[in-house]
Amino acid sequence: MKKESSHSSFSYENTAITLIWAGILFIIVVTGLYSFQSYLPFIKVNFGEYGELIGGIVGSLWALAGVILFYEALKFQRTELKLQRHEIELQRREIIEQTQQIRKQNETLAIQTIENTYFRLMSLHNEIVESITAEKDEFTYERVKKKQMISGRKCFVEYYQIFKRIFHTSFEDVLPDSFSSETNKMIVEYAFRIFYDEFQADLGHYFRNLFTIFTFIDNADIKNKGFYIKLIRSQLSNYELLMLYFFCLSDRNKNFKPLVEKYTVFRNLPVDELIEITKVLYDEQAFSRPGFDD
């Protein structure tokens, strides 16, 4: 296409130049004849006729050449405008591609920042768990009771057993004929308040950090939040889940309960008699949700 356009432009230009030279040649010839008409008796041209002849013929040739050159200039401008539009379109596409790449890079950086923060919180969670200590009653072969220090996730086994004793004691004080969902919630609230008042110094940091992790994921601008919830859920032992279950039922911690329901945190929660009678206090979504990735 470029070769054809170049050849066409060359032909128009040569045609215009030929017409200009033809006009010049005509002037030279006519001027020569006018100058030597005294030697050529068969040619009689006065000055007025000479001017009309030059003006009529040469003027027409040069006017035609001017029209051709003007047309060629317009054609050249049109071609230049097409090239400019093409270049602008290429630049626009390039800018769009660069913008998309920058957007992807920003998204990648944002995700990396979120993940770095998330895994730092996870690491802190594990450090907190390892730092928790508790005393456990142990009996020797002689049936002598003594205290044993335990640490880490083993503490939550002991904590849950303590909470269960407090819960059963509170439950026995309620008459069967007066038992209802409302009294059920009241017993859970009362039992956990007694338990937590005693062990808050050991567990307060743990639950606050866990709440921070769930809140961070919930507020994060990421698509697959279920994946990150699955990671933190996989880090929680069965007894951690059980303690979290009753922790979220306390009115003091009511902001945590919607998050565990939203992300089906108790999907693999171990079920015992306490869970069975208090399960109605949670939305069913806390335990199962169709299509939720386990």
State mean pLDDT over 212-217. 94
CA quadruple 113, 117, 118, 123: dihedral positive or negative? positive
pLDDT band at 43 (very low <50, low <70, confident <90, very high): low
Helix intervals (H) in the chain: 2-35, 47-53, 59-131, 154-172, 181-219, 225-235, 238-249, 257-262, 273-278
pLDDT for res 30: 67
pLDDT tens digits for 88-121? Answer: 888 888 888 888 888 888 888 888 899 999 999 9
The per-residue DSSP string of 213-276 comes to HHHHHHHS--S-HHHHHHHHHHHS-HHHHHHHHHHHHSGGGTTTHHHHHHTTTTTT----HHHH
Contact by Cβ (8 Å): 235, 122: yes
Position 53 pLDDT exceeds 80: no
- Pairing type for strands 145-151 and 133-139 reads antiparallel
Domain-wise residue ranges, the chain? 2-123, 134-286
Most confident of 1-5, 12-16, 50-54, 263-267: 263-267
pLDDT band at 67 (very low <50, low <70, confident <90, very high): confident
pTM of the model: 0.65
Distance CA(111)–CA(198), nearest Å, equals: 40
Proportion of the chain above pLDDT 90, given as a percent = 30
